[in-house]
Amino acid sequence: MRLGGVDLAGNLLLAPMADVTNLAFRLMCKRYGASLTFTEMISSDAVVHGNEKTFLRGMTCEEERPFGVQLFGHCPETITAAALVLEEMFEPLVIDINLGCPSPTITSAGCGSALLRSPETVSEIFRDLCENVSTPVTAKIRILESM
């Protein structure tokens, strides 16, 4: 499997999961065959406001590489600004945008699967990202907002 010009060793990918995919868990999954891991979702607002605890979610080490970071938010400009910060800070292979989280805490802020109600905003998010970051961009998405 090839992603962003990198040949991955296999086809097992660890999906981003809130409160699960911390560095220790990602390293264990790497050890047992995951070719690519993802951080748990990281708030774009928290990144642009410099929240130190938020940056711990993106912490990595050479043993984990390649890895991806997942961002969530609702504002295209904020998501792009956060992606630029994380791109420079962590050098991920890929930046994933969360369009799948159904949690009321996330969707009530217009993030996660709530973005599926606004295809124009989703289009703007990806257009801005593709114009401004050099890291490949993907999306974790749901078929239906509530499932």
Q: Which of 61, 101, 111, 130 is catalytic?
A: 101
Phi, psi of 124 (to 5 degrees): -65, -40
CA 125 to the chain's CA centroid? 13
DSSP 70-89: EEE-S-HHHHHHHHHHHHHH
pLDDT in tens, 36-51: 999 999 999 999 999 9
Q: Return the pLDDT at 83.
A: 99
Q: Is there a catalytic annotation at residue 111?
A: no
Q: What is the CATH number of domain 8-141?
A: 3.20.20.70
Residue-level pLDDT, tens digit, the chain, 147 residues: 888 888 898 999 999 999 999 999 999 999 999 999 999 999 999 999 999 999 999 999 999 999 999 999 999 999 999 999 999 999 999 999 999 999 999 999 999 999 999 999 999 999 999 999 999 999 999 876 555
